[in-house]
Structure 1
């Protein structure tokens, strides 16, 4: 069932897409923050879990399939939204969060125990692509993020970084491990996400690291240590090494369960939903 909800951020009502499937205890699903991400990336695992759970997949502000307002998105917006969505769909048995959404979820639950149920973190990240590649944050990244808001110039800058060749290269390099998975139809769907009205404002900020939920590995791990609820980390063996090292560091913390799947990169839940859903089912104690 496709729905939408209204979230108010600094006096502006923002419409976001929501998909609800199945019946039973609620599992909230938060997709990754990326230029090609939307709630649809959660559909494959929700189809495998909705026989036992009510799966609620929601687009994140500034991303997804609907038009997006020209907003200078910042981490505070995502912290506020995670609190909002967990209140809107209260008392979930679990929350599944991918990529940066997992980082925001950890930060929220560290201060609000029990608000998200069990935490299922899929390829969790805290650092955006440019800072990851450069090994550090740079003042120029923030300046470029402001330029992207300028009409005309911002669109041109966005298209230099988000276009068909670049999306294909980045997807096959970092997101998907099997080239044949990215069929023409799937690629067209990803392009549609990047072409949504207002897509450039959040997308470029994510790439530049301006939407990072934490500023260091230590902050990332310290937040996870404060979480009292059970945590599962799922990631793929072919995850890019710098990102994988962060996931492994998180997995090594006491009391955290982890599963390294034999395949998969940053979108392991989308490319290998059967294996990902099976790991989540085991963690939640649900029948296979």
Structure 2
């Protein structure tokens, strides 16, 4: 996995939801069979977090990393994002933008949406890698439930004047740094001043609050209950499925990941280090696991 990486370039494609036209961003790198890289859904997530892993996989695949609608590096329109919207976007990507991939790598909540997509589209022959897979948003995971008052939080953040102020109050540099160090990265020094500036730019992009608050409060959860997520995992082909996470994964998230692995009847790959952002922080380790298993499956 050494040498000069294949050319890397950005593209956009058009997609519409609820009467709103969106320009969606992606990055291609490498040649070979197609591989789709889906970043996590979070207030600071973009396809750029897949760049270290993408660079390594591009030695063997034509890799395509994409920003989820409402997230990523571009400004976002005011849309009341829903699981149906995210699922429809993923359907479009895998049918029209990157059809018939040989490999899909999905991190965080993207893994939940991929499980949902494949459960609705059985029989596809491809290699599936779920990295630190989640299906429930941060607040519902912390509370162990999804209380109805979270809808009031979303309504407040959606407000034209007070909404942006409330959103920024809860997503300042202190909060971003604490979130990253507590749940995302193992190395407290991983989030440098330059990296923090990039995360801040993503979090503060125009319209970012609409998708962000829905993710945090569980309104973008791909499944309503744990049994549905586990049933989708159980339906996956055992010889084509990998689950990877780190030993340092936050306890409640790790418990859910272990339940998914048990439902799928497969042994996950546990890296000695890594939290929810291990695909970015420990990309080399993740790539080695993927490429080794992929070679063995051919």
**TM-score, reference length from structure 2:** 0.93
**Where does residue 35 of structure 1 map in the other structure?**
43
The answer on 1:260 being equivalent to 2:246 is: no
The offset of 1:29, in angstroms, is 0.8
1:171 aligns with 2:158: no
Alignment partner of 2:268: what SS? strand
Identify which of 223, 231, 252 aligns with 2:241. Answer: 231
Native 8 Å contact 2:32 2:60 kept in 1 = yes
Q: Is the 8 A contact 2:236 2:264 kept in 1?
A: no
Q: Deviations over 1:135-191 (max 9, x none)?
A: 211111112112211111110121122111001011100111111111111111111
2:106 to 97, 107, 120: 97
- Show the counterpart of 1:6: 14
Gaps of 5+ in 2: 1-8
State the match for 1:200 in structure 2. 209
Matched, 1:26 2:34: yes
Structure 1 distance, partners of 2:265, 2:259, is 13
Separation in 1, partners of 2:22, 2:146: 30
Task: Using the TM superposition, give the Cα deviation of residue 116 of structure 1 relative to its aligned residue in structure 2, in angstroms.
Answer: 7.3
Do 1:235 and 1:259's aligned partners in 2 also have CA atoms closer than 8 Å?
yes
- How many residues in Structure 1 have an aligned counterpart in Structure 2? 287
User: Would you identify which runs of 4 or more consecutive aligned residues in structure 1 move more than 6 Å?
Assistant: none
Paired position in structure 1 for 2:6: none
Which sits farther off after the overlay, 216-225 or 234-243?
216-225
Aligned equivalents of 1:174 and 1:161: distance in 2? 16
- The equivalent residue for 1:269 is 279
Match of 1:139 in 2: 148
Alignment correspondent of 1:282? 292
Rounded to whole Å, the distance in 2 between the matches of 1:271 and 1:138 is 33
Corresponding position: 1:157 with 2:166: yes
Question: TM-score, with normalisation over the residues of structure 1?
Answer: 0.96
Asked if 2 retains the 8 angstrom alpha-carbon contact of 1:28 and 1:57, the reply is yes
DSSP 3-state at the match of 1:44: helix
- Structure 2 residue matching 1:181: 3-state secondary structure: coil
